[in-house]
């Protein structure tokens, strides 16, 4: 006699779709504001120009592995 298999209801694909898609730059912008960190100071810490950081935050440039880490 095979062991009893526990059945689970099927999970719909829509269960995994977020209600709102938010760009990582928008989240980071809010974090910088909340922590009162200027974009220029943060850019210096990351070793990039303020202009490059602004492009990241606005979604003009994609985040990559190097920046994410």
Per-residue pLDDT tens for 46-58?
999 999 999 999 9
Question: Residue 1 above 60 pLDDT?
Answer: no
Per-residue pLDDT tens for 11-39?
565 566 667 778 889 999 999 999 999 99
Q: Enter the pTM of the model.
A: 0.66
- Cα dihedral 29→30→34→37 (10° resolution): 0
Where residue 9 falls (left for φ over 0; alpha for ψ -120 to 50; beta otherwise) is beta
Is pLDDT larger for residue 66 or for residue 28?
Answer: 28
Question: Residue 2 above 70 pLDDT?
Answer: no
Tally of CB atoms within 10 A around 21: 6
What is the C-alpha separation between 41 and 64, in angstroms, rounded?
20
């Amino acid at each position: 006699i095979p062991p009893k298999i526990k059945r689970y209801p099927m999970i719909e694909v829509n269960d995994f779709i977020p209600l709102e898609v938010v760009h990582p730059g928008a989240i980071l912008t809010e974090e910088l504001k909340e922590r009162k960190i200027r974009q220029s100071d943060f850019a210096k810490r990351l070793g990039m120009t303020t202009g490059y950081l602004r492009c990241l935050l606005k979604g003009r440039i994609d985040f990559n592995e190097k920046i994410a880490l």
